[in-house]
Amino acid sequence: MRRRLLRWCGLSLALSLALGLVLTSGSSRAQDEKAKEATTPPTSTAAPAPAAAPAPPGPDATMPPTKPDSTGASYTGANTFGALTGTADPTTKKVTVTQETLAQDVKLLKQGLNIFWTLLTGFLVMFMQAGFALVETGLTRAKNVGHTMGMNFVVYAIGMLGFWACGFAFMFGGYGPVLTFDGPNILDTIKSIELFGKPFELIGMKGFFLTGAANDATVLTLFLFQMVFMDTAATIPTGAMAERWKFSAFMVFGFFLSMFLYPIYGAWVWGGGWLADLGVNFGLGNGHIDFAGSSVVHMTGGMTALAGAIIVGPRIGKYNKDGTPNAIPGHNIPMVVLGTLILAFGWFGFNPGSTLAATDLRIGSVAVCTMLATAAGCLSSLLYMWAVFGKPDPTMGCNGLLAGAVAITAPCAFVNPIGAVIIGALAGVLVIWSVLFVERVLKVDDPVGAVSVHGVCGAFGCLSIGFLATGEYGGGLNGIAAAPTGLFYGGGASQLFAQLIGVLTNVLYVVPTAWLFFFIVEKTMGNRPPAVAEIAGLDIPEMGVEGYVNEDSVAVQVAGQEHLEVHGPGVPKKVGVMTDSKVPVGKP
């Protein structure tokens, strides 16, 4: 039988090879005949080809497109072929590259590089959601793993849809054309009022649901990048309010922040609003500047977290009757460290990506300053903990690294590497002082230190521009010809005042607005689950599943014990459903 099988296998293989050779030779013969026909001159004299019509003039490669297009096909020079664009001779088929067509290709290359860079860095920022989920879950207790992970996961979907519906339009509706993409002027509508004889732009009004003209390649790219920034702000309060936040109330919050709270302040800074115009209108430096989001993203998230933690109150058992706090350690330090490293990696998208341009060579400086600040924050935090409390706490080292990252986010493009190290080192110590102040003085329970890392260090990062901006980069920003220059580099105090106004505005707008929102939720649907659920853990009461399953359920354990009593400890045979007739006498 085996020999017969081998014989058939050999015969099949031989037939397959023979068939392949026949097909290959036939294909080669056909190709040779086609080549011969192509090289053999025609026997009859063909009529002369008519003169080719002159090629129509190409579009002006220096001008942006005149209409929106989600595919980008109508953009000047849009051509996805690898060959250079040119004019083909109808007779010889030879392509002639002209100065005009070369300019089109160069422009398309710059557009493509900048859009690709912005999308790629946006993908990195999106991956930071995983880092936040790991850090927050690791710093909380095992009984709430499913709940904490669930919030960090679902906020991504909620925030995206809310920002798509109206948040993006409110924030960037008056942004104007995306210059690094050379797109059309689609986002051109912003509401303003007049104060002190100056226009105060408040809120954009273009781009709702990304419909109509907003369905354009450049606008869609900007939306993706800004959406993941917004989701970063939305996930910050999930850490400060962890282990006692009702999931339904959290979902309502996700829509509120992504649709209203975050976009309005963002419009004032990044959407052409009044804080950005402090320089043009009142001569305060370049206006309030925030390169990648220390105030727009991190302060907004941190101040919202502060208001929410105040309203929801501390976890049961956090404070004694005399007001002294009890430590509630996180359950998984490796998870915290891994999440921190993921966040540090994602920050290379957060800060360098905010150039919106691969052709802006400042991205090298931005990336290095970001990296140095995180290292300085980590080390200064560890050394301070070691010197003051006797041991280098790795969790505080992680918060120190993140504090350095948050603090450098606003000034990363405007400072040099020495300034970045100074900012990061100070932030690493500042976050420890802030954590202790929030816990011991304000009596606010913040399980992960979100208020301190994002709120306090975000404010510090914005103010540091007023001291350490070197004046080397940012000329033309917010309509001011000169680059931002800090006090220590001879720029005077005007930029510092603009930064201070932006920081104070964030606190005075975000904290009361967020507090009012949480207060309304508290009086209607409630922010907090019952005490019995909080004490037992929120995984089953709020989510319906356990984050960790260490053993079988009670029902499965009982069934296993009954199996042993009926069938013994030997190798089990096929066992059907246990019935009452199979239960030994005396058993229920």
In this structure, the strands spanning 95-96 and 87-88 are antiparallel
Mind listing the pLDDT tens digit for each residue in 21-80? 433 344 444 444 444 444 444 444 444 544 445 544 545 655 667 778 887 777 766 666
Q: Distance between CA 71 and CA 215 in Å, rounded?
A: 9
Q: 91 pLDDT band (50/70/90 cuts)? A: confident
Please tell me the least confidently modeled range out of 49-63, 213-227, 461-475. Answer: 49-63
pLDDT for position 477: 97
- Position 54 in a domain: no
- Give the domain range for residue 452: 107-543
- Position 189 in a domain: yes
Q: Inform me whether the pLDDT recorded for 538 exceeds 50.
A: yes
pLDDT for position 22: 39
Beta strands in 168-240 (DSSP E): 190-195, 198-204
- Position 337 in a domain: yes
Q: What is the mean pLDDT of the chain?
A: 89
Which amino acid belongs to residue 107? K
Which amino acid belongs to residue 198? K
With b for 16 or more beta-carbon neighbours within 10 A and e for fewer, the 390-417 pattern comes to: eeebbbbbbbbbbbbbbbbbbbbbbbbe
- Position 123 in a domain: yes
pLDDT for position 79: 63
Interval 303-325 mean pLDDT = 97
Residue 187, SS3 per DSSP: coil
Q: Inform me whether the pLDDT recorded for 277 exceeds 60.
A: yes
pLDDT for position 105: 86
- Position 101 in a domain: no
pLDDT for position 535: 97
State the total domains in the chain: 1
Can you give the CATH number for the domain in which 289 is found? 1.10.3430.10
Q: Distance between CA 275 and CA 14 in Å, rounded?
A: 79
Q: Are 509 and 480 spatial neighbours (Cβ–Cβ below 8 Å)?
A: no
pLDDT for position 455: 98
- Position 37 in a domain: no
pLDDT for position 63: 67
Q: For residue 204, which of 158, 265, 279, 291 has the smallest C-alpha distance?
A: 265
- Position 338 in a domain: yes
State what percent of residues in the chain have pLDDT above 70: 85
Mind listing the pLDDT tens digit for each residue in 546-564? 999 987 888 888 998 998 9
State what percent of residues in the chain have pLDDT above 90: 76
Please tell me the least confidently modeled range out of 117-121, 393-397, 558-562. Answer: 558-562
- Position 82 in a domain: no
Q: Distance between CA 191 and CA 174 in Å, rounded?
A: 8
Interval 323-331 mean pLDDT = 97
Mind listing the pLDDT tens digit for each residue in 173-214? 999 999 999 999 999 999 999 999 999 999 999 999 999 999
- Compare 86 and 446 and report the one with higher pLDDT: 446
**With left for phi above 0 and alpha for psi between -120 and 50, is residue 245 left, alpha or beta?**
beta
Model's pTM, two decimal places?
Answer: 0.86
Which amino acid belongs to residue 229? F
pLDDT for position 6: 41
Q: Inform me whether the pLDDT recorded for 545 exceeds 90.
A: yes
pLDDT for position 577: 55
